[in-house]
Structure 1
Amino acid sequence: AAEQLGDTLAGLVLCASDYHPGAYYRLMGLPVRFERMRQGKRHPSPVIRKLTFGTWATRIPEATTEFDWLSGNPEEVKRYIDDPLCGFDCSTETWMQLVTAMRRIQSIAGLSELPETLPVLLLGGEQDPMSDNGKGMMALEKVLHAMKQPLQTHFWPEGRHEILNDHCRAEVEQAIIDWLAECTE
């Protein structure tokens, strides 16, 4: 949406993002398409769950739950697990739409649609397995720098995927407040 509505925004905050070239999403689309054909559009896939959430969960040493990849704060993980609106498996069609959207959004053409003067704040945890422990965020940072996008970044060494629900929450909130103050001056 920021690509289409960027002229109406004072700034853009990207939290727990990453970057992959288009070939990554074309490749990722193969098992998703296969599972959508096999399971149907409205049904979840244990294969997709294993390739995503399951893989990310295994990257946390000494994890006590399958959702420890989200946060290093056990209380927040418990809140997530206890919330009936969280932790469910998405349908194969939802995954297909996500992969398709990410391929378009993360393409150079898609990112080029951001207004040249739109300030971007990139936030993330360096222990986020979804972004390959921060490498995906740093790749996005490089792409945005190369595009000369006004960019500020903050990465937390111990932060996982949901840095606003992690031990670094106060620092993340302060970084957002400070950045917003700069954007609205």
Structure 2
Amino acid sequence: MFTFPSRDGLTIHVRQWLPTAPPRGIVQIAHGMGEHGARYAPLARALVAAGYAVYADDHRGHGLTMLPGRPGELGVDGWNLLVEDLATLTRIAGDHHPEAPIVLLGHSLGSFAAQQYLLDHADLVDAVALCGTTAVDELFAFLSGAGGDVMGAFNAAFQPSRTEADWLSRDEVQVDAYIADPLCGFTLDEPSMAGLAGAAVTRLAEPKAIPTDLPLCVLVGERDPLNQNLTLSDLVVDRYRAAGLTEVTYRTYPGARHELFNETNRDEVVTDLITWLDTVTG
């Protein structure tokens, strides 16, 4: 692990997994809400075995980068700083391996950050993958009727439910591990959620000025409640194609829920991801 200072002085904690030989590419993982980078160790090991260097920060308000408040508190202008932190880490990883192409892989909240990253920092990466992603503005419109119970709204499609986190995966072992993890299971605080919602409406809903030849991969489960039966992931893909992107790969997985890398078909998902990575990193 290593750390670096954010613009506001917060210490950002980063995990790295490195192959023994010079890497064929760099995969930077941006994790989801209410979790942390260590949960991606199995994926990182598979990527390292395929020849990639892997970097994953704990976002501000998460994991080892927790602010001295409640979990999910990002701080003043925290949403924009979270995205800026990702760009800082990209530059650091690029300095470590200057000859290696860089791919940003964002899951869920990390994919929302990646959507904003594409608007401001697309020049830093050679490709982007969005997993468990959605049209964030439309997701907030859906959640507006949830009365603040975000997790309950996501779990509603899986009744009768075994746990409050059944929406994450069909793999009960993975769901139970998430529930047992003291660094998992929270949402952003109200100001931070408002920052994300504002960006969703004013910026993410109309992606533009992204290099049209930048490869983009979207991976989602067909039963991911963030996507409302794929209608919102379809919308994401349509928006990027309308913005002129010509190298868009879209993979959907029947029966799969939100956390594809912890799903019962995760081997299939990882294989698809590595196949795409090998193609776009050349």
Query: Does the 8 Å CA contact 1:25/1:103 hold for their aligned counterparts?
Result: no
Corresponding position of 1:68: 166
SS of 1:104's partner is: helix
Corresponding position of 2:129: 13
Query: Does the 8 Å CA contact 1:120/1:152 hold for their aligned counterparts?
Result: yes
Query: Does the 8 Å CA contact 2:171/2:263 hold for their aligned counterparts?
Result: yes
* Residue identity in the other structure for 1:175: D
Compared CA separation, residues 30 and 162, structure 1 to 2 (3 A): closer
Query: Does the 8 Å CA contact 1:57/1:66 hold for their aligned counterparts?
Result: yes
Distance in 2, Cα, partners of 1:30 & 1:82? 29
Distance in 1, Cα, partners of 2:260 & 2:175? 12
Which of 155, 160, 165 matches 1:57? 155
Corresponding position of 1:151: 248
Which of 215, 224, 236 matches 1:119? 215
Distance in 2, Cα, partners of 1:30 & 1:158? 26
Which has the higher relative contact order, 1 or 2, with Cα contacts under 8 A spaced 6 or more apart? 1
Corresponding position of 2:262: 165
SS of 2:158's partner is: coil
Aligned residue runs from structure 1 range 168-179, under 5 A: 168-179=265-276
SS of 1:12's partner is: strand
Residue by residue over 1:54-77, the C-alpha shift from the partner in whole angstroms, topping out at 9 and shown as x without a partner, is 111111133200100011110110
Compared CA separation, residues 27 and 160, structure 1 to 2 (3 A): closer
Q: How far did 1:163 drift?
A: 0.7
Matched pairs, number:
165
* Larger strand share, 1 or 2: 2
Compared CA separation, residues 65 and 107, structure 1 to 2 (3 A): same
Residue by residue over 1:26-56, the C-alpha shift from the partner in whole angstroms, topping out at 9 and shown as x without a partner, is 857988xxxxxxxxxxxxxx942x1x21111
Distance in 1, Cα, partners of 2:210 & 2:255? 30
Query: Does the 8 Å CA contact 1:126/1:155 hold for their aligned counterparts?
Result: yes
Normalization by structure 1: what TM-score?
0.80
Corresponding position of 1:184: 281
Mind listing any 5+ residue stretches in structure 2 that lack a counterpart?
1-116
Query: Does the 8 Å CA contact 2:169/2:258 hold for their aligned counterparts?
Result: yes
Distance in 1, Cα, partners of 2:236 & 2:264? 24
Normalization by structure 2: what TM-score?
0.54
Identity %: 26
* Residue identity in the other structure for 2:134: D
* Residue identity in the other structure for 1:179: W
* Larger helix share, 1 or 2: 1
Query: Does the 8 Å CA contact 1:25/1:99 hold for their aligned counterparts?
Result: no
Corresponding position of 1:101: 199
Q: How far did 1:88 drift?
A: 2.2
Compared CA separation, residues 94 and 146, structure 1 to 2 (3 A): same
Distance in 2, Cα, partners of 1:121 & 1:58? 28
Compared CA separation, residues 126 and 117, structure 1 to 2 (3 A): same
